[in-house]
Chains A and B, each alone.
Chain A
Amino acid sequence: MQDYSFDKTHIIDIPIEKAMTTENLQVFYGDNHAMHDASLQFSRYRITALIGASGSGKSTYLRCLNRMNDRIATVKGKIMYRDMDINSPKINVYEVRKHISMVFQRPNPFAKSIRENITFALKRNGIKDKTELEERVESSLKAAALWDEVKDELDKSALALSGGQAQRLCIARCVAMKPDILLLDEPASALDPISTAKIEETLQQLRKNYSIIIVTHNMQQASRIADYTAFFHMGHVLEYDRTEKIFTNPQIKATEDYISGNFG
């Protein structure tokens, strides 16, 4: 692979309201320094895509944002959310994840009914009111564009859903918690094109009420849905800008090579 300089970077500041920011975020897997000094600002009510080759650190970075790396890696640096450093050991991580929710690469519905997949976490967080629960089930499934397909079979097992439906259920499950920020780790990479299109449509809808950060290795997907795009390379963020700038006029050689397919 061609060697690209890690010193020359192009990272913009977000002029509008920010959902969260990271300052000098570093990740270590034991001795392996997997993420170097990532300082990014994420805009509120926008979709930000994190792109880069496999092993570039984009998923590692994303998983830091709601502390999903706690048990497997050491994360240094600041993760600022609502004027709090949520990377501090004093922070209640479970509370953080209610505000910053994550959808994973492979659909992972619980071995429960469709309805219970959504109500389970709600109930555990103290929502007991039946009408409130019903309302959340309906509104979140509608938000994830799944309602029409499953409204008559809410008590069926979620394990019987197709991959695309299951992934939208996972999105609905997050949305039902009314989080602030949705993190998606390659949510469509295990899905067929039709399901992918539905997921993208769903994200476009959700963007009105949520700040979304999505990891994708599909550049068309990034260019279709994201407002901002960050390019990761070997544990470094090399470029971060508005999506159309990244795709039409990249400032960094590595970014240009990656999006034009001349990479590696």
Chain B
Amino acid sequence: MNSKTTNNIATGIIYVLVAAVVGILIFLLGYILITGLPHVSWHFLTSAAQSFRAGGGIRDQLFNSLYLLVLTLIISFPIALGSGIYLSEYAPNNWLTGLIRTAIEVLSSLPSVVIGLFGYLLFVIQFRMGFSILAGAIALTFFNLPLLTRSVEESLEDVSDLQREAGLSLGLSHWKTITGIVLPAAVPGILTGIILSAGRVFGEAAALIYTAGQSAPIVNYSNWNPMSTTSFLNPMRPAETLAVHIWKVNTEGVTPDALSISSGTSAVLIIVILLFNLSARLLGNWMYKKMTATK
């Protein structure tokens, strides 16, 4: 067989494999959107869920998902940023950092239901947080940290050492070089990492069932005091998210339209994740352009 034929066969196989991946993706997305979208309406998005009657919406679940995501990122991003900077810029190559890296790997492969039960025992029961957004956010932080730390570390490592040398040779301290030169250059990569991890967090159900709970209490969207029990911002209230809602209506939903609610919710979940990806990507490009002043 001559090299041209081999090349053609190899290329052909690669095309087939890519087509398979894209095909599965399109099939899944298409199925969810086609079965779900007809049920999505303004009313669906803006009204509360119903326990027994048809016609319930997902207003609270949608908000809870977003709020939980924001809270999770607020907790996990600073920790991930700090540990990512340490691992990439300061950590010596020894057994201790090796151990840290292994620990991160292990943490990232923990089943989410285990994290959920752990969060339930520790936060919900032991720390008496009850089923709450905060307990959920902390559980999701465990879930999110390894991915986020890894992506911060990798984005920083992708910045050329020449940049570090340039900063140091101008008399900038190691820290100023990192914050002023390396970190800005790594922002697009870090943002991509946040998006990817956010997508995972947004769709997570198992870890939340036992921590943030499965109920969506009536909250007041005009009460901006996070300390108030009726406020939508209160982090100590239970909160059912979109993904948990899908699971719940499918397993124990008694509403007559359970199927259409779960299809509609799935479609909304997917669309929000897509929107989130898209806007964060645009933001990343915009920030990079702004920082590098490319016009």
What's the Cα separation between A116 and B185 when bound, in Å?
14
Helix, strand, loop or mixed for chain A's interface? mixed
Count, chain A residues at interface, CB 8 A: 32
Q: Which chain B residues border A116 with CB–CB below 8 Å? A: 293
Q: Of A95, A111, A157, A174, which is within 8 A of B295 by CB?
A: A157
What's the Cα separation between A124 and B293 when bound, in Å?
19
Q: Which chain B residues border A170 with CB–CB below 8 Å? A: 166
Q: Is the CB of B293 within 8 A of A173?
A: no
Q: Is the CB of A157 within 8 A of B293?
A: yes
What's the Cα separation between A111 and B295 when bound, in Å?
13
- Minimum CB–CB distance for A209 against chain B, Å: 18
Q: Does B172 contact A (CB under 8 A)?
A: yes
Q: Of B165, B172, B184, B294, which is within 8 A of A124 by CB?
A: B172
Q: Is the CB of B293 within 8 A of A97?
A: no
- Minimum CB–CB distance for B167 against chain A, Å: 8
Q: Of B168, B171, B176, B292, which is within 8 A of A112 by CB?
A: B292
Q: Which chain A residues border B292 with CB–CB below 8 Å? A: 111-113, 157, 159
Q: Does B162 contact A (CB under 8 A)?
A: yes
- Minimum CB–CB distance for B11 against chain A, Å: 34
Q: Does A145 contact B (CB under 8 A)?
A: no
- Minimum CB–CB distance for A66 against chain B, Å: 7
Q: Of A66, A102, A110, A113, which is within 8 A of B163 by CB?
A: A110
Please name the residue on chain A nearest to B159 by beta carbon.
A111
Q: Does A13 contact B (CB under 8 A)?
A: no
Residues A101 and B162 in contact in the complex (CB < 8 Å), given A112-B292, A120-B180, A160-B294: no
What's the Cα separation between A68 and B161 when bound, in Å?
12
Q: Does B100 contact A (CB under 8 A)?
A: no
What's the Cα separation between A68 and B184 when bound, in Å?
23
Q: Which chain B residues border A160 with CB–CB below 8 Å? A: 294
- A43-70: CB near B (< 8 Å → 1, else 0) gives 0000000000000000000000010100
Which of B126-174 touch A at CB < 8 Å?
A: 160, 162-163, 165-173
Which of A75-126 touch B at CB < 8 Å?
A: 94-98, 101-104, 106, 108-113, 116, 120-121, 124-125
The 3 A-B residue pairs with the shortest CB-CB distance in the complex, in nearest-first order: A98-B171, A113-B293, A108-B162
Given A66-B169, A101-B169, A121-B172, 11 other A-B residues pairs in contact with their CB atoms under 8 A: A68-B165, A94-B173, A97-B168, A97-B171, A112-B292, A113-B292, A121-B171, A125-B171, A155-B293, A159-B294, A177-B170
